[in-house]
Amino acid sequence: MNITVYLGSYEGNDNSIRDAVRKLGCWIGESGNALVYGGSKIGLMGVLAERVIESGGKATGVEPAFFVEKVLQYDELTELIVTENMSDRKAKMIELGDAFIALPGGTGTLEEIAEVMSGVSLGLIDAPCIIYNHRGYYDSLRAQLDEMIRRGLSSEERQKGIFFVESIGEIIEILENIP
């Protein structure tokens, strides 16, 4: 299975996030699944790809040409796909994914996972969308989705493929139970 992961190009100031990223990377590499991600060698993105590769897994990076020109790509990737722009990058990452995970990240991560959440709620993406709510990182996003339902602008049915989890173990459990 191709697991598309969205996460920060910064490492952040909480070592427990890096530890969680390493744990997920090890599992992806050792489980025979493959990583699809933004292709960067920096921040949490680099930590994840490095751990997947070191654990014997495959990692496909999808980067827009302007990132490649800045030499931000991780050189040990199994495959690097270069897109014309960010919109093409997002589309390619969705196309390749069989499951989607958002780990803590910045505005880019938020934009990318919002597109996946929308696709899942509209029935355009038939794959789990997993939000890793590490130490409450995505509490506000969860509250916003609940507010949409409360105000009648969305429904539990439309959001049933979106999962908020509190541990890497819960992510793995969801992934291992995909039919």
Task: Give the whole-angstrom CA distance, residue 176 versus residue 71.
Answer: 35
Q: Say what the pLDDT of residue 71 is.
A: 63
Q: What is the domain range of residue 88? A: 2-176
3: which 2 tokens? 């697991």
Counting Cβ atoms within 10 Å, is residue 151 exposed (0-12), middle (13-18) or buried (19+)? Answer: exposed
For the chain (length 179 residues), average pLDDT per consecutive 10?
A: 96 95 98 95 94 97 84 81 95 98 96 97 97 98 98 96 97 93
* 40-59 burial: b if 16+ Cβ within 10 Å, else e: bbebbbbbbbbbbbeeebbb
Q: Say what the pLDDT of residue 69 is.
A: 72
Q: Say what the pLDDT of residue 67 is.
A: 78
Number of domains in the chain: 1
CB 137, CB 170: distance < 8 Å: no
**pLDDT tens digits for 54-89?**
999 999 999 998 877 776 677 889 999 999 999 999
154: which 2 tokens? 């969305």
Domain of residue 157, CATH code? 3.40.50.450
Contacts of 151 (CB under 8 A, 6+ apart): none
Q: Say what the pLDDT of residue 19 is.
A: 97
